[in-house]
């Protein structure tokens, strides 16, 4: 099994160009164009289209540049991100310097956002319980995101950076009953030269499952409300992006009272108020380190978990014959791990849903390498399913049956992520591995 690693890096040195950033947002709500819109997350919806819009689904773009080196972070109100969405967005936008190797597209994992499999050209199953591929949905989202990428790239300006972290206790639970719960919220703020905030990135770990399969209005769920709250608190037209953490086994603790949507808004406001206060208390500095790397990992042979048909197969109405087709068609041979570092902030991403213990192990590796504010993002630039440790894989359960590379996947990606994180933390100026 081989790993290809590509380095895209820049570091601010005396006299070097400053880090520049540009932001933009676009609605990615296909209902605006009367396109039937499949919502992600629950097979029990059986592909029924959304019945309306509670709040706008957004794609938010942050482009970073120092000299000739660029990277982009895109947060989307989707359940998952297929890699072709990234590729087609980049091709449509045709922004110089941006490629699949330096574009991190992060799904919030809202379960009232867009169904990622509906935008996935690999999805040839025609199964409404997992989502039916929609050319109209895909083209709509690609057009909107490409326009936002172009806009952000045109509006680059020098920035300083600040980052911080704080615990949010009693907001989440481990839905597999494991001891691991990552309560840490991490945030990055990028300020204009006049000190006003241009963009912020918030990382907190929780599924977007305060809603359930009966909720049929498009919504960013709690993460969408969190971002609106942060933007309102900071003001000045700031753009808040969100990257979910290692949420594979982490669920939100549902607030009491009201509808599911009201509970999600309540939860999002609580997280947003905490994030806003954290961000307001930070002091920005000149960016002395800016680094980005990607590692394309060769994945283990694809295989279904022993209990798939009994657990996930029942929810998604997948037969044994269809299962073999889906595994080969939907899930790739390679997938990317990314890392992005700005001063004391470093984020490592996974192309699926890692469980908490994998995320915390990667964060610990970054801390051991001297990073003050590490974080992990899930569901970035592809969606390969759940990523579990061998011990958790052996316990079975829903997450295992939605994992498609066997018991060794989690250990493989954990080791590769730790290596990627450590080399970037310890030697941001090093050459390609």
Per-residue confidence (pLDDT) for residue 431, from 0 to 100:
36
Residue 312: CB atoms within 10 Å: 24
| Residue 175 exposure: Cα atoms within 13 Å on the Cβ side | 20
How many residues are there in the chain? 433
Q: pLDDT digit of tens for each residue in the chain (433 aa)?
A: 445 544 444 443 444 689 999 999 999 999 999 999 999 999 999 999 999 999 999 999 999 999 878 999 999 999 999 999 999 999 999 999 999 999 999 999 999 999 999 999 999 989 999 999 999 999 999 999 999 999 999 999 999 999 999 999 999 999 999 999 999 999 999 999 999 999 999 999 999 999 999 999 999 999 999 999 999 999 999 999 999 999 999 999 999 999 999 999 999 999 999 999 999 999 999 999 999 999 999 999 999 998 888 877 777 888 888 888 889 999 999 999 999 999 999 999 999 999 999 999 999 999 999 999 999 999 999 999 999 999 999 998 999 999 999 999 999 999 999 999 988 887 665 433 3
What is the structure's pLDDT at 116? Answer: 98
In this structure, are residues 378 and 80 in contact, taking their beta carbons and an 8 Å threshold?
no
Q: Are 73 and 62 in contact (CB under 8 A)?
A: yes
* Residue 177: burial class (beta carbons within 10 Å; 0-12, 13-18, 19+): exposed
Contact (Cβ atoms closer than 8 angstroms) between residue 383 and residue 116: yes
CA distance 280 to 233: 9
Tokens of 27: 């609605």
CB burial of residue 307 (10 Å; 0-12, 13-18, 19+): middle
Q: Which two tokens stand for residue 331?
A: 């899930």
Instruction: Find out whether 398 and 369 touch, Cβ atoms under 8 Å.
Output: no
CB proximity list for 352: less than 8 A, separation 6 or greater: 335, 378, 379, 382, 383, 384, 385, 386, 387
């Amino acid at each position: 099994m081989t790993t290809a690693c590509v380095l895209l890096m820049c570091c601010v040195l005396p006299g070097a160009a400053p880090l520049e950033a540009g932001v933009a947002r676009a609605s990615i709500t296909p209902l605006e164009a009367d396109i039937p819109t499949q919502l992600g997350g629950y097979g029990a919806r059986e592909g029924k289209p959304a019945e309306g819009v509670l709040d706008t689904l957004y794609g938010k773009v942050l482009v970073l540049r120092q000299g000739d080196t660029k990277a982009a972070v895109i947060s989307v109100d989707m359940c998952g991100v297929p890699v072709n969405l990234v590729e087609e967005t980049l091709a449509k936008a045709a922004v110089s310097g941006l490629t699949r190797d330096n574009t991190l597209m992060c799904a919030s994992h809202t379960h009232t956002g867009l169904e990622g499999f509906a935008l996935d050209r690999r999805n040839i199953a025609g199964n409404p319980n997992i989502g039916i591929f929609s050319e109209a949905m895909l083209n709509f989202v690609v057009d909107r995101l490409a326009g936002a990428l172009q806009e952000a790239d045109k509006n680059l300006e020098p920035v300083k950076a600040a980052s911080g972290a704080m615990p949010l206790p009693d907001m989440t639970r481990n839905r597999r009953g494991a001891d691991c719960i990552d309560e840490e919220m991490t945030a990055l703020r990028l300020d204009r030269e006049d000190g006003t905030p241009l963009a912020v990135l918030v990382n907190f770990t929780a599924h977007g499952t305060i809603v359930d399969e009966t909720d049929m209005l498009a919504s960013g769920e709690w993460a969408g409300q969190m971002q609106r709250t942060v933007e309102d608190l900071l003001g000045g037209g700031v753009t808040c992006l969100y990257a979910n953490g290692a949420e594979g086994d982490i669920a939100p603790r549902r607030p009491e009272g009201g509808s599911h949507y009201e509970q999600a808004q309540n939860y999002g406001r609580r997280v947003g108020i905490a994030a806003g206060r954290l961000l307001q208390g930070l002091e920005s500095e000149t960016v002395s380190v800016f680094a980005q790397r990607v590692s394309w990992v060769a994945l283990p042979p694809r295989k279904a978990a022993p209990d798939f048909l009994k657990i996930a197969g029942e929810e998604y109405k997948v037969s044994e014959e269809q299962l073999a087709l889906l595994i080969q068609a939907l899930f790739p041979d390679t997938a990317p791990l990314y890392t992005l570092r700005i001063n004391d902030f470093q984020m490592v991403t996974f192309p699926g849903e890692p469980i908490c213990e994998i995320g915390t192990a990667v964060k610990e590796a970054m801390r051991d390498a001297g990073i003050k504010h590490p974080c992990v993002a899930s569901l970035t630039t592809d969606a390969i399913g759940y990523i579990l440790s061998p011990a958790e894989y052996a316990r079975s359960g829903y997450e295992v049956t939605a994992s498609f590379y066997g018991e060794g996947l989690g250990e493989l990606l954990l080791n590769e992520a730790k290596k990627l994180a450590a080399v970037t933390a310890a030697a941001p100026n090093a050459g390609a591995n």
